Structure 1
Amino acid sequence: MTAVIEVQNLTKRYKDKRALDNVSLSIEGGHIYGLLGRNGAGKTTLMSILTAQNFASSGDVKVFGEHPYENTHVLSRVCFVRESQKYPEDATPRHAFKAASLFFRNWDQEFAEQLIKDFQLPMKQTIKKLSRGQLSAVGVIIGLASRAELTFFDEPYLGLDAVARQIFYDRLVEDYSEHPRTIILSSHLIDEVSNLIERVIVIDDGQILLDEETDAVRDRAATVVGDAAKVEAWVSGREVLHRESLGRVASVTVLGKLSATERAAITADGLDIAPVSLQQLIVRLTQKAASAKAEEVN
């Protein structure tokens, strides 16, 4: 599969802070990616540079094999849905959708109309008077109905209630299955999007912490629970991500896949093995990375 995005040694500085620190990655087409991490980790900065809405301090970026800045051939194939999108003072959702239909060559008006009904979006209200959830719905509708070859959703659900978020997830998966393209979904609601994404990219403190297929990530850790002495014996020599204890009961999350033989032996020893959710794993990995950096500084 051909890479639609190639990033080499990308760095972005804001005065004394590095928002991105020597980032390199390659994104192949035809998949849904999760760009995950804490607020301020560098997700939006990375997407802004990839869509030519920001500049790199150093490094190289190519989208569809070309540099995106002032490149109509590239940017006409890209849709970037972000929370801070600005619209003219008197613009209504209908104005926004009309403009999108003129820019995006794959725009599906029928699909857009269906999404408007799904999200119960008031079309005559000016955008500046919409609620935060309704404003998010405008962006989500543009991102989905544009059917751009490369679509970025930057925290698209902000302000959407649980029902509206589920509508977004359902419509995204349904339409992606019928019209494959490359979708990059930035989110900190990791468990909510974990079943949508095929590959996980975790960014933390401006650096890529993880870049793997989602199924492989889920197998990377397990939590062993039970008698503290037995648990500690089993996890000895393994890389520990998290440890909790209450009296004689311990719960330890370890990095590394447990073999079928190990799982059977652990269970036979009276211990339980609990799966680690994608969100738990990423939180633990992020905490571990932060602790390691703090130790380096000290």
Structure 2
Amino acid sequence: MKIEVKQLTKVYKDKKALNNISFSLEEPKIYGLLGRNGAGKTTFMEILSGHILPTNGKILINGENPFDNQKLTESICLIKEGNNFKGDLKIKEILRIYSYFYPTWDQTLAEELVSLYNLKQNAKVKSLSKGMESALGIIVGLASKAPITIFDEPYIGLDAAARKLFYEILLEQYEQEKRMIIFSTHLIDEVSLLFEEVLIMQDGKLLMKEDTDQLRDRTYAITGTREAVEGFIHDKQIISKKGLAGMMTAYVYGDRKQARKNDFQVEGIPIQELMIHLTEEQRGA
């Protein structure tokens, strides 16, 4: 599946949720879609899923608009952080409905996951705890085996053990059968090792789209005297910097080998910390 995002804009009253963004996604990968609240992530995912229309620009999936296009929406599964299912339906009815909608549905996997998460097939959605409802969403997203599977904060209410189980099953299923998985989360440190490519958004704009391995190789923090650090970074691409008592730490995008040669203290930057510094820099600007 090829996703082309072309000058995509979405306006709500006087607020631009998306502001003229353009990029493409082509490969079956696990993509991390990151950003602070209000960055535009959920709006993007809803347009991609064919749920809403943009104000301007377009998203094309294999050259077609997903809105009101059943052939495409059968290939896309969006699991949001809540309200995915009608409260009066039983779990077994939810599974049956989705099995009819998704040609790629895996009923065996769905039933195995229901058992793993200790859900009762006859329980109604409205009787489920928040964690159980999140588990049901995870089950549907994984069992759909949709070529484009989107998880938007899918595990509200799940404890650490249940989230870990989800990550393990997600990776296992992905290795068995590759698909495009778009994963939006604030628990970045927990899942960043799963990401093969990262997209960072802020204020409706795309700040960064980068292969994860390359991102880890080319982003680093250096610490030294203020004078030495300022001298080193004057011609570098700076993400952020901070100083205290004559010392300075700078977050840099570039080749870290040169920094090591200058006897700076050099450290890698976790993706979560990178996202925080990058979006803080944008807010300050």
CA deviations on 1:232-259 (whole Å, 9 max, x unpaired) are 4443443443334444543332232222
Query: Which letter does structure 1 place at the counterpart of 2:51?
Result: Q
In the alignment, which residue of structure 2 is the partner of 1:295? none
Displacement after TM superposition at 1:215 (Å) = 1.1
In the alignment, which residue of structure 1 is the partner of 2:276? 283
In the alignment, which residue of structure 2 is the partner of 1:296? none
Which of the residues 100, 107, 110 maps onto 2:108? 110
- Specify whether residues 116 and 54 from structure 1 end up closer, same or farther in structure 2 by C-alpha distance, changes over 3 A only: same
CA deviations on 1:262-291 (whole Å, 9 max, x unpaired) are 41x23xx3x421111111112111111222
The CA distance in 1 between the partners of 2:238 and 2:87, in whole Å, is 53
The CA distance in 1 between the partners of 2:15 and 2:227, in whole Å, is 45
- Specify whether residues 176 and 247 from structure 1 end up closer, same or farther in structure 2 by C-alpha distance, changes over 3 A only: same
The CA distance in 2 between the partners of 1:225 and 1:29, in whole Å, is 37
- Conserved in 2, the CA contact under 8 Å of 1:80 and 1:151? yes
In the alignment, which residue of structure 2 is the partner of 1:193? 191
- Specify whether residues 59 and 230 from structure 1 end up closer, same or farther in structure 2 by C-alpha distance, changes over 3 A only: closer
Q: State whether structure 2 residue 123 is matched by structure 1 residue 125.
A: yes
Identity rate, percent? 41
Q: State whether structure 2 residue 178 is matched by structure 1 residue 180.
A: yes
Displacement after TM superposition at 1:40 (Å) = 1.2
- Specify whether residues 245 and 23 from structure 1 end up closer, same or farther in structure 2 by C-alpha distance, changes over 3 A only: closer
- Conserved in 1, the CA contact under 8 Å of 2:84 and 2:137? no
Displacement after TM superposition at 1:227 (Å) = 4.4
Query: Which letter does structure 2 place at the counterpart of 1:278?
Result: I
Unaligned 5+ residue runs, structure 2? none
Displacement after TM superposition at 1:230 (Å) = 4.0
The CA distance in 1 between the partners of 2:80 and 2:169, in whole Å, is 18
- Specify whether residues 287 and 116 from structure 1 end up closer, same or farther in structure 2 by C-alpha distance, changes over 3 A only: same
My pick for the range that moved more, 164-173 or 271-280, is 271-280
Displacement after TM superposition at 1:117 (Å) = 2.3
Query: Which letter does structure 1 place at the counterpart of 2:8?
Result: L
Displacement after TM superposition at 1:169 (Å) = 0.8
1:147-296, aligned counterparts within 5 Å? Answer: 147-259=145-257, 261-263=258-260, 265-266=261-262, 269=263, 271-292=264-285
Cα-Cα RMSD = 1.8
CA deviations on 1:45-78 (whole Å, 9 max, x unpaired) are 0110111111111112211321111111111111
The CA distance in 1 between the partners of 2:231 and 2:207, in whole Å, is 29
SS state of the match for residue 112, structure 1? helix
Displacement after TM superposition at 1:87 (Å) = 2.9
SS state of the match for residue 176, structure 1? helix
SS state of the match for residue 100, structure 1? helix
SS state of the match for residue 64, structure 2? coil
CA deviations on 1:132-160 (whole Å, 9 max, x unpaired) are 11111111000001101111111112211
TM-score normalised over the length of structure 2: 0.93
Query: Which letter does structure 2 place at the counterpart of 1:275?
Result: G
- Conserved in 2, the CA contact under 8 Å of 1:199 and 1:212? yes
The CA distance in 2 between the partners of 1:86 and 1:195, in whole Å, is 27
Displacement after TM superposition at 1:22 (Å) = 0.5
Corresponding pairs, count: 285
Unaligned 5+ residue runs, structure 1? 293-298
The CA distance in 2 between the partners of 1:128 and 1:8, in whole Å, is 39
Query: Which letter does structure 1 place at the counterpart of 2:49?
Result: T
SS state of the match for residue 194, structure 1? helix
- Specify whether residues 195 and 96 from structure 1 end up closer, same or farther in structure 2 by C-alpha distance, changes over 3 A only: same
